[in-house]
Every structure is written in C-alpha cells, then in structure tokens.
Amino acid sequence: MSLARAVAQLMSCGRWLGLLAVLGAPGAQAVTQEIRALFTPDPANPQNNSFINKTPESGYCLDNPVECRNNKTFSIRLPITFRSVTAIQPGAIEREGPMFRTPAQWRALTVTNTQTGESEQVEFRIAGIGSQYVLSDTAANLTGAASALEGHQNLWGGPGHSWVYAPANCQYSGVGFYGDSYYRFFWKTPTPSICAKTASFLIPEMSYNYLDFAYELRTPNPLGMSSGQYTGTMSYRIGSGGDFDMGDNMQPDDPDLTLDFVLDVQHTLKVDIPPGGEKVQLVPAGGWQSWLQAGRKPVRLFRDQTFHISVSSRFKMHLICEISGLYDCMIRDPVSQRAAAVTVAVSLPKGLMDLQGQPVERRPLRLGQNNAQQFQPGIYVDRGPGILHFEISPSYVDYITRPGVASSYSGDITVIWDSEV
C-alpha cells in the first residue's frame, strides 16, 4: 500500500490593524483615520496569540514610547484645530473656558471578514488627549509675569497650575513644553468626565493647533478567526456636546472623525512528512518472519507514520481514496481482486484539540469532505509532532493472509489537511 500524498494548505490571507490615511482638504467636513493590526504566528513566541498594532505612531506616543508601552496605549495626531469663539474670561464656567471630555469608555464595534462574511467584536477607548494651546499674546504680557514659565503658571492660577498638571478627572502624563505664547500638553483620560482649566486673566483669543489622542484596543482571539481581512468603522462627533467635547467656546474646524479598522489575520497551516513517508508498508509487529518461518499468521498489519505540523487556525482532515469503501479506503490484490479496508487515524500534538476541547488521540479519519474531522489550536503550534495510524483490522488480516498463497495489496490514500473550515 502507498500513501500517495499528504496535502497541507497554507493559508495566509491576512493583513494587519494599522493606520494612516487622513483625508481632509480645505473645506472638508470629516477626518478619516485608519487603525490597523496584524496577527501572524510567531515561532519564536508561540504562546503570544494576539494582534500586533501596526498603526504608525504619531503625536504623544511617538515622543514618549516608554510611557505608552507601559500603559499599553497608542496615539494618533490629527490635523484638527480648535479656536475660541469669544474671549476667555477670568473665572469663566467650564463650558465657556478650556474644557475636555473624551469618549474614554469602552465602545464595541463589529469587524467583518471581507471574504467569508464572518464577524468579530473589537473594543476601543480613548485613553488620553492633548494638543498645543496658542495664545493671542505672550503669557508674560497677558499676566504681567517676569518670564514665560511664570506667565503660563499664573494664567491658570499660579505655580502648580500650568498645563503639565492635569485638572481633576484627568491624569498627569509627564508632558509639558512651552514657549512665549504656546504650551504643549497631554493628559490621560481614565473616565469620560469633564477636565477643565479656569483662567485667572483675560485671554482675548486661544486655539489648539492639532488634536492628539491616545487609545487602547481590545481584539478578539485570532486563533478562532479565519484568515483574511476584517473591517469595520467607528464614528465620533467633535465639538460642543459631541463625543470629543471641548466646551461651547473652543470650536473645531472639522466636526466629524471616522476611524476605519482593519484587522488582518495571516494564519499558517503547514505539514511536513519525513522523506520516504509517502510510502507506507503495513507489516505485523516484528515483521513477517514469524509467519514465514513458523507459520504463525499475523493478527495486525499496521504502520505509524510521523509528521510535523505548524498551525495557527482551525482546520479539518479527511481522506481521498483510490479505492473507496463505505467510510474507509481499500487496498486490493490486482490478481485475485480481493480487497481489504484500511483504517486511518490521527494523533495530534499538544496544543491541538477537537471542537469540544479534547485532545486528539487515534481519532479516525473518514472518506470525503462531508465526514471531515475538525480541529482547533489552543496555542500556535510550530512543528509539533503528530502520527498517522494505518491499520488493517484483524478480520481483514485473516481474510487476506492465506498460507501458501502469495499476494500483494496496494492502493493510494490521500490525507487532506484543510484550513478552509
């Protein structure tokens, strides 16, 4: 008998979850930003079954990578500017001065595989906000202070009140850079509550010349997803009463932000059979000598064929036969036309299981796609050892082994590993 071929399909139709594509020419009324992430199995770190954010960093995290890495956040800088509608009065109420309220709560969106139509859930939240405020005059001139630093401090209430220090409901991020008439800042936003600063002096005009935000991303388990590209969209309103609410005085030049999510899943399914493994000879335990020399008929004819499998996705297995039986493949003696059924079973390495989460030990494989066995990884398995078990049952062994009668049985059996579940 010969094992004609073993077919392993390599599926790698994924991309990643990344960024960049800011659309907004003069007069445009929306900004679009792409968020990208990628899953591809890593043989060097098989336990890490998670997406990698591939969105190019801009803004806060580009300048403070360690801080963002420790907080598992990412940041984007958008060309959205804000300008005060009226002068900011000393002691003005929150909505008439500089205030910030961000969509810091987790929001879910559905991403859909563009080829299969399968859907998964992604969660997203805004984890921080920042910009650079620009004053209509120098901070020293607006407050009568002796220096730029003293001016920026006194403008909002004195030492300890400059914009490096976040107001209530926001948190310090360690960022604060200033010049004579500008101050760059970034604050963490743990909750969707208002953070506000109160001016101590009249500010005729103030603007923010860009919008920075940090975000956190929760992605599904890629091992349960099919290969391919998953896309989805989340929209935010910017401005007074919107998702990004900067109060009634500070108004944006673009009122809408659309985030386009792209999750790319690039799975691996690869099977390696040792050289010569395509030829399977079914023999008794210990060989044929006991029958040839002592006349003792064998009870079993079998062969265990090893293979190595690398897999990160669900897959199924079934048989294709040259000579088909009811469920199993057959081998035949071309002279007598007598035939015998060969059972084929599989044992899979640790980390692979059936759909009920059970380990796979000598699981029978059947003829045809409709009878395929389905399996799934608990972790990415890289060149894990498996076994194909070939055996002729004792009843057929007795049928095909007759003293004094020479015969040769053969047939092709194809084992299919298929990631198109």
Tell me the sheet residues that pair with 417.
8, 317
pLDDT attached to residue 292: 59
CA separation for the pair 71, 64 (Å, rounded): 11
Contacts 24+ apart (CB under 8 A), 351-356: 351/46, 351/377, 351/378, 351/379, 351/380, 351/381, 351/384, 352/309, 352/311, 352/376, 352/377, 352/378, 352/381, 352/384, 353/377, 353/378
Residue 210 lies in a domain: yes
Expressed as residue numbers, the domain containing 368 is 269-418
Query: CATH number of the domain that 359 lies in?
Result: 2.60.40
Structural domains counted in the chain: 2
Together in a domain, 36 and 154: yes
**DSSP for residue 71:** H
Based on the domain organization, do 207 and 275 belong to the same domain? no
Q: Are residues 100 and 132 in the same domain?
A: yes
The reply to whether 260 and 274 lie within a common domain is: no
Residues 99 and 246 in one domain: yes
Whose structure tokens read 């961000």?
102
Q: Can you tell me the distance from the alpha carbon of 235 to that of 218, in angstroms, rounded to the nearest whole number?
A: 17
Beta bridge partner(s), residue 171 = 188
**DSSP H or E run through 397:** helix 394-400
Tell me: do 95 and 228 sit in the same domain: yes
Contacts of 54 (CB under 8 A, 6+ apart): 16, 17, 18, 19, 36, 37, 38
CA dist., res. 348 & res. 358, Å (int): 11
pLDDT at 287: 73
Same domain, residue pair 152 and 281:
no
Dist CA 162 CA 143 (whole Å): 13
8 Å CB contact between 216 and 73? yes
Q: Retrieve residue 162's tokens.
A: 């400059």
One-letter amino acid of 101: R
Clarify whether residues 25 and 132 are in a common domain: yes
260 and 283 assigned to the same domain = no
- Indicate the pTM of the whole model: 0.80
Same domain for 77 and 131: yes
Least Cα distance to 35 among 63, 15, 5, 13 occurs for 15
Each residue's pLDDT, cut to its tens digit, for the chain (421 residues) gives 333 233 332 222 222 222 222 333 344 467 999 999 999 998 888 778 899 999 998 988 898 888 888 888 899 999 999 999 999 999 999 999 999 999 999 999 999 999 999 999 999 999 999 999 999 999 999 999 999 999 999 999 998 899 999 999 999 988 889 999 999 999 999 999 999 999 999 999 999 999 999 999 999 999 989 999 999 999 999 999 999 999 999 999 999 999 999 999 999 999 999 999 889 999 887 677 666 555 667 778 999 999 999 999 999 999 999 999 888 999 999 988 889 999 999 999 999 999 999 999 999 999 999 999 999 999 899 999 999 999 998 888 888 877 666 688 899 999 999 987 6
Looking at the fold, whether 255 and 283 belong to one and the same domain comes out as no
